Structures are given as structure tokens and as C-alpha cells.
Amino acid sequence: MMLKLGVPSKGRLMEKTFDWFGERGVVLRKSGSDREYAGEVTGVDGVELVLLSAGEIPRELAAGRIHLGVTGSDLVREKLPVWDNQVAELALMGFGHADLILAVPQCWVDVDVLDDLDAVAAAFRRDHGFRLRIATKYHRLVREFLQDAGVADYQLVDSQGATEGTVKNETAEMVADITTTGATLLANHLKLLQDGLIHKSQATLFKSRIAPWDDQTRSALKTLQTKLAL
Ligand SMILES: Nc1ncnc2c1ncn2[C@@H]1O[C@H](COP(=O)(O)OP(=O)(O)OP(=O)(O)O)[C@@H](O)[C@H]1O
Ligand SMILES: O=P(O)(O)OC[C@H]1O[C@H](OP(=O)(O)OP(=O)(O)O)[C@H](O)[C@@H]1O
């Protein structure tokens, strides 16, 4: 059996993943036309390239349909309930950095840390008759973080994109989203909670603990690990 390596199929994550492997002597490339999601690997035998959406790679690893996969550590933690039972981290790849954070409107001058938020959330519920709304696509990570922080009076509203806009649009009071430069938060008059860093994400090479590892795939992994100096 071939070792299946899942890699993001487009954008910066794909390009930087190709660069990262290329610098280590493993050449990944898209075959066929630009729009065709087929790929090839040279520089190591027994490895097949599978081009997938970054968001689907955690599920494919957990289902054992790919042996290795590159995606953001945030997506693996969000999408897999007990992620470290299902996958193992082989390498932090040093790109795709993004911080998953909690942010509130800049005009909330009394709210700078989670303790302040707890007080405001309780008051909000009393005053409005519903719980303060946090827009996010990272439901699991936000719930776990706020539970550990002892904040309970809130509700999550799902936002799959343009999350920072939900406050202006009055569909949420605050957001939990990823930020890199902070420009989007600033442009939408939001500020970070000082202790509101939920996860520091970066592109990571994961190994599936579920995939069917046979002699051939184990041997391909060994060769790959030597080449990649893991
Ligand atoms: N500035 C950024 N904006 C969005 N994602 C970023 C950024 N920087 C790093 N990332 C990371 O990229 C990954 C998301 O990539 P991408 O949006 O391609 O995934 P996807 O959900 O599969 O997208 P799509 O559904 O459009 O294919 C996450 O791990 C995220 O942390
Ligand atoms: O801190 P910054 O450098 O401003 O980057 C952060 C923004 O980038 C991402 O959005 P993206 O443009 O990928 O679109 P999305 O909101 O549809 O996910 C993310 O969701 C933030 O909105």
C-alpha cells in the first residue's frame, strides 16, 4: 500500500507546504492543469499525494483515509474531540501562524481580561434577557477555553467567515477568531482580551494513529522521516 500524504489543495498553505518539503528534497507538485486536484511526489518512493481542503484534513486523518496530513493545528484541535488519540504531531512547520483569540468592542472600556468579561456577561443577561453572543467557527475550542476560565453566561453563534463584522451587524456582542496581523480586528473596532489567547496555531505535519500502517507504509514513513530530519 502507498503512504497517502494529505496536503492543502490551494492558497498559501499549499505553496508553503510544497516549499517546506522541497527544501528537504521531497518534491510535491500538482499534476495536470492548475484546477485539477491531482498531485505527484518525487524524491521518495511509496508516497502518494492527496490534495484536500485544509479543513477536511483532520477528518481524513481521523478516519485513517490518509496516513500523514498537513494542516493548521487549530483545525485539528477544533475538529477532533480527542485529537492526540487520533493523530500525532510529527513537525511544527513554522508557517501558517495564526492566533485564535477572544475580542470585544473597543468601547467596552471596563473589559480587558476574562474576569471582567464574566461580570459583564452576567449583567448582560440580566439587562437583555438573553446571553451575550460570541460569534465563531471554533465552537469546541472556545467552549473548552471559557469553561476552564469559569465564564458561563454566553452563547455561541456560528460564523463561518467575516466574523469580525458580526458585532457591527449586531448579530453578536463579541468574537472568537484567528488573527495574524491584527488589522481586521482594528478595522472593526475590536480589541483583544489580554488573557484571551485560546490557541497559537501553525501549519503542522500530523501522522494518523488510525490509518492502516503496513510494512510498506511504515518503511516509506521511515525514509520520509530521515529525509525530513524528523
Ligand atoms: N490570516 C489567515 N487567515 C485565515 N487562515 C489562516 C491565516 N493564517 C493562517 N491560517 C490558517 O490556515 C488554515 C485555514 O486554511 P483555509 O482557509 O485554506 O482552510 P479551509 O477551511 O479548508 O478553507 P476552504 O474551505 O476555503 O478550502 C487554518 O489552520 C488557519 O489557522
Ligand atoms: O489579523 P489579520 O491579519 O487581519 O487576519 C485575520 C483575518 O483573516 C482571516 O479571514 P480570511 O480573510 O481568511 O476570511 P474569512 O473571514 O472568510 O475566514 C481571519 O478569519 C480574520 O478575519
Could you state, in order of their start, the residue ranges of all structural domains in the chain? 3-96+202-227, 98-201
The CATH number of domain 98-201 is 3.30.200.20: no
Beta bridge partner(s), residue 156: 134
Return the CATH number of 3-96+202-227, one of 3.40.30.10, 3.40.50.1820, 3.40.50.300, 3.40.190.10.
3.40.190.10
Express each pLDDT in 40-58 by its tens digit: 999 999 999 999 999 999 9
Cell of 114: 476574562
pLDDT at 37: 77
CB distance 53 to ligand 1 below 6 Å:
yes
The pTM assigned to this predicted structure is: 0.95
Ligand 1: which atom is nearest the Cα of residue 8? 18
Q: What is the mean pLDDT of each run of 10 residues along the chain (230 residues)?
A: 96 98 97 80 96 97 98 98 97 98 98 96 96 98 97 97 97 98 98 98 98 98 96
CA quadruple 125, 127, 129, 131: dihedral positive or negative?
negative
pLDDT at 25: 97
Residue nearest to atom 17 of ligand 1 (CA): 54
Q: 69: CA distance to ligand 1 center in Å?
A: 15
Nearest CA owner, ligand 1 atom 7: 98
> Distance between CA 5 and CA 178 in Å, rounded?
26
Question: How high is the pLDDT of residue 208?
Answer: 98
ipTM > 0.90 (yes/no): yes
pLDDT for res 38: 83
**98-201 and 3-96+202-227 share a CATH fold:** yes
Q: Which three cell numbers stand for residue 117?
A: 468579561
